Structure 1
Amino acid sequence: MKNKYIDLIEQTFDFPQEEFRVEDNELYFHNIPLMDIIKQYGTPLKISYLPKISQQIQKAKKLFNVAIARSDYQGDYHYCYCTKSSHFSFVLEEVLKNDVHLETSSAFDIFLLETLHEQGLIDKETYIICNGFKRPQYIENIAKLINEEFVNTIPILDNKFELDQLDRNITRKCKIGMRIAAEEEPKFEFYTSRLGIRYNDIIPYYEEKIKNNPKFELKMLHFFINTGIRDSAYYWNELSKCVNLYCQLKHICPELDSLNIGGGFPIKNSLSFDYDYEYMAEEIIAQIKMICDRNNTPEPHIFTEFGSYTVGESGAVLYSIIDQKQQNDRELWDMIDSSFMTTLPDTWALNQRFILLGINKWDSEYERVFLGGLTCDSEDYYNAEAHANAIFLPKLDNEEPLYIGLFHTGAYQESIGGYGGIQHCLIPAPKHIIIDLDEEGEYTTKLFAKEQSHKSMLRILGY
């Protein structure tokens, strides 16, 4: 009778997979024995596996460059990392090993870039795409970069008022972009994104405010689809509208030469994940080329701003099951030694799903459970997987604790959770380690942050 946990996983999914395998009934993540990591550092524990970041970047660069070659597309491809996905120094250091560019969202992002420049990690030729609604400090910081001859700094106009503010602060000629306010999918509570300038206003605004201003050179048209790059009629329709607008604008603005399609490549959030990255990259390039050919317009250089795609699959969080509670005749609650709300806030804020697997006891029988966090909030739980919205884990026994991991958690969770700040119910933030590979291909670990102390919390609270 096949009733062991390993049987369940192998019957439900195509397993083992690229980053997951089992040896001696224990889970390996990118060939790293997770039980050895747990024995060294304990739980709860956050992991950042740096090589995956470079793998993702190189994969996307190859996909788009191959698509460009196959279509005989005349523009270039530029990969930008969306810094808001993870601002950690070790993430940016790994990202910048791959000859890429950066996208910013706020004033403090610019201070971060200045530090990277001081460290020699970026130079004044690096493309810096400045998105977001720009308050005065952000405008001043962008202007400072441009005035200091960061020649590829491109502020993207999010509204009609930012140009005048930039004009007052910038002292030299500079490149700018304009963001299109995309139409949202019907399921949204509103029709048009709050970000960017309306389709119908782009060309009149260019002719009125930019065309005859000698300080500004419109180089980029930017759009972003909130629900990501998907093979859907909605996505292809929005892309088509954007490219057609680009062609119209190019005919009256010869210096315009770049199209920024934003981010949106998905990450693997289930063992049953299926997404044809190659097809999507080739189809995007083919669609842009076809529309440009139809409008007798040179193809634009393509920029992307991948954030979650870059860093998401590098992260994992490991927990211990510290107890089990039977709350009625059908519901078993496995309690973790931390909180989902504080360590993985997207699980309750956005109902985000991550890959969930047991780390040990793969030869044990399995049972259906709910997972509960330590806070007293009723929303601090996790209860959905690919098994018809149920979680199955190895049964508990008194011989060995059960450990579990949630994987591909590397994007946004720390910033949304308030890294280093006050946690719900004062549950401390877990240890955080960095895993890398040495020259021989052996993994190395480094403690980035200890478990949060009560003193640091009390200091923040004014005690």
Structure 2
Amino acid sequence: MNTKYIDLIDQTYHFPTEEFELQNKHLQFHGIDLMKLVEEYGTPLKFSYLPKISDNIQRAKGWFDSAFAKADYKATYNYCYCTKSSHFKHVLDTALKNDIHIETSSAFDINIVQSLKKEGKINDETFVICNGFKRDLYIQNIASLIDSGQKNCIPVIDNYEELSLLTEATDSNFNVGIRIASEEEPKFEFYTSRLGIGYKNILTFFKNQIEPNNQVNLKMLHFFINTGIRDNAYYWNELHKCLKVYIQLKKICPTLDSLNIGGGFPIKNSLAFEFDYAYMVEEIVSQIKQVCDEAGVDVPHLFTEFGSFTVGESGGAIYKILYQKQQNDREKWSMINSSFITTLPDSWAISKRFIMLPLNRWNDEYERVLLGGLTCDSDDYYNSEQNINAIYLPKYHKDKPLYVGFFNTGAYQETIGGYGGLQHCLIPAPKHVLIDRDDDGAITTRVFKEQQSSEQMLEILGYQ
């Protein structure tokens, strides 16, 4: 019988993959021996593999370059990184090496932009697309950025009051975008996004507030839907509705020359993941060109705001199985030495699933288990893979340590989990290691943050 864990993987997936392989019976991730990482740094452990950030940016640029050439699309493509996915300096520094631009979401993002400008990581020509609901400090910071000479700072208008707030905050001339309030899928909990201005009201808004204002030019139309870029009727229908508005505006507004299609590229959440990125890009570019050609207007410059796609597949978390509890005749609970709620909050909050694989013992027999976290919270568990309604791992043995890795966790988990702050049940944030490659391709590692200490938490709580 094929009862080993490696047999299960071979029967279920195409393995090895471009990211994962076995060497010396241990799991390798992009050529990194994860057991050696554990031996050097211990667990629980968070890591960021920085080269994957550049890799994904260059892949996306290549897809758009090819699609533009195939469609004879006479405009430019601008890759923006959505900073809210991960604000860390090592992420921004790596991403900006690839000649990209930035999308911001709130006031403190602008302080990050100013810091990057001082370091020469971005310049006055870099596009800074300012999204989100804007009040007070965010408005002031955007105005300050515009006044400092950031020629391509484009605040995207989210509601009817923002334009007047911006013009009151600066005397400089500036460009703006308008965000379309997209209509959501029928199964969604609401009909229309809370972000942006409704399709039917955009033309009126332009005529009443932007066209008469000599201080402002409309540069961009912004389109994004919560479910992301998917090859389904809903996505294509919303894109065509957006293009209809773009064409109406373009015919009366010569300064409008850019379409921002937001983010929404999916990332791998299973070894069985399949998504034809190149096809989707080709189809988007082709349909935009076709609609614009039929209407007799120039095609727009295209912007994207990929966040999870940029950074998600660079991150991972490693845990040790501490103990196993047989709670009844069917359920075995394998307890990790950390917490899912605090280190992978999306697994708890929105039932998100990540790629999960053991680092060692692939030649041992496997069993079905549930994974439990350390908090005294009944919701601190992980119970299934994305494409399998179960978790299978090598059988627990007290004298044979087992380590498990969760992969492609690099987007949102640290900020949502309250990085550096209080954690549920005061479970400390794990050590965080940065992995890179030098000019010769050799792997380098360094500790970004040590595991959170009791003193740090007690200071936050007011005990010190």
* TM class, shorter-length: over 0.9
Match of 1:7?
Answer: 7
Alignment partner of 1:26 is 2:26: yes
- Worse-matched range after superposition: 435-444 or 99-108: 435-444
Match of 2:428?
Answer: 428
Contact 2:353 2:386 in 1 (8 A): no
Match of 2:295?
Answer: 295
Structure-1 separation of matches of 2:35 and 2:266? 29
Structure-2 separation of matches of 1:6 and 1:23? 13
Match of 2:48?
Answer: 48
Cα distance, 1:189 vs. partner? Answer: 1.6
Q: What are the residue-to-residue correspondences of 1:291-330 with 2, within 5 Å?
A: 291-330=291-330
Structure-2 separation of matches of 1:2 and 1:67? 45
Q: What are the residue-to-residue correspondences of 1:32-431 with 2, within 5 Å?
A: 32-386=32-386, 388-431=388-431
Letter in structure 2 aligned against 1:345: P
- CA gap of 1:401–1:70, structure 2 versus 1, over 3 A, is same
Structure-1 separation of matches of 2:76 and 2:125? 16
Structure-2 separation of matches of 1:318 and 1:4? 22
Structure-2 separation of matches of 1:267 and 1:30? 16
- CA gap of 1:139–1:386, structure 2 versus 1, over 3 A, is closer
Structure-2 separation of matches of 1:22 and 1:327? 33
Q: What is the TM-score with the length of structure 1 in the denominator?
A: 0.99
Cα distance, 1:387 vs. partner? Answer: 5.7
Please list the CA deviations of residues 194-225 of structure 1 after superposition, one character each: whole Å capped at 9, or x if unmatched.
00001111011111111121100100000111
- Runs ≥4 in structure 1, deviation > 4 angstroms? none
- Worse-matched range after superposition: 397-406 or 115-124: 397-406
Cα distance, 1:293 vs. partner? Answer: 1.0
Q: Which runs of 5+ in 1 are unaligned?
A: none
Structure-1 separation of matches of 2:190 and 2:352? 22
Cα distance, 1:236 vs. partner? Answer: 0.2
Contact 2:262 2:306 in 1 (8 A): yes
Q: Which runs of 5+ in 2 are unaligned?
A: none
Please list the CA deviations of residues 136-170 of structure 1 after superposition, one character each: whole Å capped at 9, or x if unmatched.
11000000011111000000000010000011011
What number of residue pairs does the alignment pair up?
463
Structure-1 separation of matches of 2:185 and 2:74? 31
Structure-1 separation of matches of 2:30 and 2:72? 36
Letter in structure 2 aligned against 1:316: G
Structure-1 separation of matches of 2:388 and 2:413? 25
SS of residue in 2 equivalent to 1:406:
strand
Structure-1 separation of matches of 2:336 and 2:388? 22
Letter in structure 1 aligned against 2:324: Q
Structure-2 separation of matches of 1:446 and 1:86? 19
- Worse-matched range after superposition: 381-390 or 400-409: 381-390
Structure-2 separation of matches of 1:390 and 1:189? 28
Letter in structure 1 aligned against 2:344: L
Cα distance, 1:398 vs. partner? Answer: 3.7
Structure-1 separation of matches of 2:153 and 2:175? 7
Structure-2 separation of matches of 1:337 and 1:363? 23
Structure-2 separation of matches of 1:52 and 1:82? 16
Letter in structure 1 aligned against 2:184: E
Match of 1:444?
Answer: 444
SS of residue in 1 equivalent to 2:273:
coil
- Worse-matched range after superposition: 182-191 or 313-322: 182-191
Letter in structure 1 aligned against 2:375: T
Please list the CA deviations of residues 69-126 of structure 1 after superposition, one character each: whole Å capped at 9, or x if unmatched.
1000111100000000000000000000000000000000000111011111010110
Letter in structure 2 aligned against 1:439: D
SS of residue in 1 equivalent to 2:298:
coil
Cα distance, 1:396 vs. partner? Answer: 1.8
Cα distance, 1:388 vs. partner? Answer: 3.1
Letter in structure 1 aligned against 2:396: L
Contact 2:270 2:387 in 1 (8 A): no
Structure-1 separation of matches of 2:219 and 2:170? 17
Contact 2:181 2:192 in 1 (8 A): yes
Structure-2 separation of matches of 1:297 and 1:170? 32
Contact 2:272 2:387 in 1 (8 A): no
Match of 1:461?
Answer: 461
Cα distance, 1:399 vs. partner? Answer: 3.6
Structure-1 separation of matches of 2:130 and 2:385? 37
Structure-1 separation of matches of 2:46 and 2:95? 19
Structure-1 separation of matches of 2:343 and 2:399? 28
Contact 2:357 2:405 in 1 (8 A): yes
Cα distance, 1:393 vs. partner? Answer: 0.2
Q: What is the TM-score with the length of structure 2 in the denominator?
A: 0.99
Structure-2 separation of matches of 1:262 and 1:271? 26
Letter in structure 2 aligned against 1:114: Q
Cα distance, 1:414 vs. partner? Answer: 0.3
Structure-2 separation of matches of 1:65 and 1:222? 21
- CA gap of 1:364–1:120, structure 2 versus 1, over 3 A, is same
SS of residue in 1 equivalent to 2:251:
helix
SS of residue in 1 equivalent to 2:114:
helix
Letter in structure 1 aligned against 2:177: G
Please list the CA deviations of residues 180-202 of structure 1 after superposition, one character each: whole Å capped at 9, or x if unmatched.
00000111121100000011110
SS of residue in 2 equivalent to 1:219:
strand
Contact 2:323 2:398 in 1 (8 A): no
Cα distance, 1:329 vs. partner? Answer: 0.3
Letter in structure 1 aligned against 2:294: R
